[in-house]
Amino acid sequence: MKAIKLVIPILLLLVSGCKLLKKSSEEYKIGAISIRELKKYDWFKMEYKKYRVSEKAVDSLFGLNTVKIIIAGGEWCSDTRLQLPRFIKLLDIIQFQKENLEIIFVNKEKQIPEVYKTLQIKFVPTFIVSDNAGKELGRIVENPSKTLEEDLIKLINQR
């Protein structure tokens, strides 16, 4: 009986402690975010360093600057924490011009600043690829169907 009396308060303390460690929705970054800001996050640094980009894809995509890319993600989202660092590493390796890239963080309800409402974000991360005229070529939503590299090549070749 003494053990139960001791276990219950400990469990309550652990459960309440976990809630304290979680960020509330208001504490997450929402809106435009730079690559410099992203590279400060531990989760970003860890996955970026770990990811190995396909050499074959680099050859196909190197110097790609005929498209614009908008990425919508969420700091709170496990798929964003996995795919966004990988995608940025790919863009870094192919020397993608960063002025053709925009990264936006949304909250858990996928609400974004008014200026981005036309993007119709339903799931994150969403990688939107458009031509220079602004015509959307396609999207990679949440996770690539093959790899980020192969999916990006497929989108680019649809022009």
Residue 13 belongs to some domain of the structure = no
What pLDDT shows up at residue 30? 86
Q: In this structure, what are the phi and psi dihedrals at residue 101, rounded to the nearest 5 degrees? A: -125, 135
Residue 123 belongs to some domain of the structure = yes
Number of domain units in the chain: 1
pLDDT tens digit at each of 159 positions of the chain: 555 555 455 444 444 433 444 555 557 888 899 999 999 999 999 999 999 998 888 888 876 878 999 999 999 999 999 999 999 999 999 999 999 999 999 988 877 777 677 888 889 999 999 998 889 999 999 999 999 999 999 988 876
Distance (Å, rounded) from C-alpha 101 to C-alpha 87? 11
Residue 47 belongs to some domain of the structure = yes
Say what angle helices 42-50 and 78-93 make with each other, to 10 degrees. 50
Q: In this structure, what are the phi and psi dihedrals at residue 110, rounded to the nearest 5 degrees? A: 60, 25
Residue 4 belongs to some domain of the structure = no
What pLDDT shows up at residue 20? 41
Residue 105 belongs to some domain of the structure = yes
The answer to whether the pTM exceeds 0.85 is no
Residue 37 belongs to some domain of the structure = yes
Residue 17 belongs to some domain of the structure = no
Tokens of 13: 């303390």
What pLDDT shows up at residue 141? 97
Find the domain containing 51 and state its range. Answer: 24-157
Residue 51 belongs to some domain of the structure = yes
> 43, 135 in Cβ contact below 8 A?
no
Tokens of 2: 């003494």
CATH number for the domain harbouring residue 86: 3.40.30.10
What pLDDT shows up at residue 119? 87
